[in-house]
Every structure is written in C-alpha cells, then in structure tokens.
C-alpha cells in the first residue's frame, strides 16, 4: 500500500473532521476516498486531500450550503489542475457576498429586537381601501419553515421576472396561518400578461382591504403584518387570506431601509 495513504481515522484527525462527516461527504461526492480496500472495505485518503477537507470544514462552519461548497471545491480543483483561478475566485466571491448579505440581515434583526424590547411593538397607519378584481398569473412554491419563506418568495419572483415586462406589478401571497409547510405564491398582475411555464392564470379577488405601508427591508415585514392584524382584531374585522404584499420599490436599485411594500388583508363581507 502507498505510504502516502492514510486510514480514514488518521485522515479525519488530520482534517479536523469526524469519520461520520467524511463518510457523508464521500456519499455526496464532495470528498471521495483515494482508495478503498476491496477485501475489507476500509477507506484511505491521501494527505494532499487535506486541503479539500479543510475547505469543506471551514465553509460548513459558516453554514454555506452543500451545493455551494461543491462549486467552490470544483473551482479550487480546476485551479490546482489547469490554472482555473477565475472559477475558484468567482465561487468564493459568491460565498462572500451571500455571507455579507446574511450578516447585514442579522444586524437589522438585532436592531429590530432592540427597538421592540426598548419601546414595544411598532404600530402602523392602517386605512381601508376598495380593490377591484385583478387578472393575474401566479407562480407557487412551498416553504419548509417560516425562515424559508424568503427563499421560496425569491424563487417565485425570479420565474416571473424572466418573462415579465420591465416594471412588473408583483404581489406576494402568504397564508395568514402557518402549518408544517407554508404555501407561497407571487402574482404578476395587469393586462397582456406573458406566458410563464408552470404558472396558473387567475383572478385576485377584489373587495374591502385593510392596508398599511411597510418601509424597510423585506425581512422585517412581519412587524408591519403584526400591526395590521392587530388593528383588524381590535376593531372586530374578520380577515380572510391570503396576506398580500404589493412590492412598490425595485430592490435592485433601492437600499433595504427604503424599500416600500404595501401590506393588504381582505376583510370578510360584513352585513
């Protein structure tokens, strides 16, 4: 056997990973053994594979998703084999951008928590408006948890923007009550609507709506939604879902703290 080969236990110690993690990464194709003994099934790694193992460990410590880890490793391997520095740098730059965006989101959340603890729940100016029915095409996704709603919403928006006009009128649709999974939808409204693969044509119902404007990042919309729902409850209005989010600002050109979103809840007809 080649002296350069290490047992899985020795390699795990060198790479600061567990044997279980190494087996998992091998199953995913991220870090496969250099050699497997056909008689015993024992796994062996080369010392040169320690770089990839350490990269995986560091990226996972930052909660980088496994598909992104695979992209970074692919670029790094190209760098080592063919001089593909650009691929590795681009993959790592995307990781850095995502981490900085997540850090900014967490800082905003901490500021909101500080504000709530210091001054209580925020209020919102609520008005009643009458909305007409609106033709729409609707794309749908499923969020696994409340924290996954942003990902599901972005996926719906991306599908619509691929076929939408330059300034689309997009409305997010969210259930009032969360279950084990959360259905998320985004509607493109207007006339002359384009075809979007997998989208459903439909009509957004009209009627009387309670509405409030949210100014700030999308990840803080729940604060305004709370104020809107509390307003309805205090006045005895019975809301009927879904909660609508009408996106007024372009997030590509508007700072998060200046994004404007109109929240709307349809009220049940009252005799």
Q: What is the pLDDT of residues 106-129, one digit of tens each?
A: 898 898 889 889 988 888 999 999
Residues linked to residue 36 through DSSP beta bridges, in sequence order: 43
User: 10 Å Cβ neighbour count for 162?
Assistant: 10
CA distance 159 to 163: 7
CA distance 169 to 152: 18
Choice between 121 and 58, residue whose per-residue pLDDT is larger: 58
CA distance 177 to 45: 50
Q: Look over the chain and give the mean of its residue pLDDT values, rounded to a whole number.
A: 89
Instruction: Give the pLDDT of residue 270.
Output: 53
Choice between 63 and 185, residue whose per-residue pLDDT is larger: 185
pTM (two decimals): 0.72
Instruction: Give the pLDDT of residue 271.
Output: 47
Instruction: Give the pLDDT of residue 78.
Output: 64
Q: Which of 24-33, 84-93, 157-166, 177-186 has the lowest mean pLDDT?
A: 84-93
Instruction: Give the pLDDT of residue 108.
Output: 86
- Using the predicted structure, report yes or no on whether residue 269 has a pLDDT greater than 80: no
Q: Which of 104-113, 220-229, 238-247 has the lowest mean pLDDT?
A: 104-113
CA distance 123 to 226: 9
- Using the predicted structure, report yes or no on whether residue 256 has a pLDDT greater than 80: yes
- Using the predicted structure, report yes or no on whether residue 100 has a pLDDT greater than 80: yes
Instruction: Give the pLDDT of residue 101.
Output: 86
């Amino acid at each position: 056997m080649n002296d350069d080969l290490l047992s899985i236990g020795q390699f795990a110690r060198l790479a600061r990973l567990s044997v279980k993690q190494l087996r998992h990464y091998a199953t995913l194709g991220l870090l496969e053994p250099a050699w497997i003994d056909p008689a015993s099934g024992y796994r062996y790694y080369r010392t040169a594979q320690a770089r990839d193992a350490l990269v995986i460990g560091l990226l996972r410590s930052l909660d980088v998703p496994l598909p992104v880890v695979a992209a970074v490793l692919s670029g790094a391997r190209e760098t080592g084999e063919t001089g593909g520095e650009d691929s590795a740098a681009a993959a790592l730059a995307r990781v850095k951008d995502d981490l900085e965006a997540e850090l900014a989101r967490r800082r905003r959340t901490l500021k909101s928590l500080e504000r709530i603890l210091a001054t209580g729940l925020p209020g919102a100016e609520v008005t009643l408006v009458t909305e007409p029915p609106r033709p729409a095409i609707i794309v749908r996704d499923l969020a696994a948890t409340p924290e996954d709603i942003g990902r599901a919403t972005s996926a719906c928006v991306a599908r619509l923007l691929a076929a939408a006009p330059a300034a689309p009128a997009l409305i997010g649709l969210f259930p009032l009550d969360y279950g084990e999974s959360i259905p998320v939808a985004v509607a493109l409204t207007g006339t002359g609507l384009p075809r979007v693969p997998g989208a459903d044509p439909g009509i957004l119902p009209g009627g009387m709506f309670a509405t409030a404007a949210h100014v700030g990042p999308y990840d803080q919309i729940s604060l305004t939604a709370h104020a809107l729902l509390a307003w309805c409850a205090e006045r005895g209005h019975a809301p009927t879902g879904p909660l609508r989010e009408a996106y007024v600002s372009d997030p590509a050109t508007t700072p998060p703290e200046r994004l404007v979103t109109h929240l709307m809840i349809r009220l049940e007809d009252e005799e």
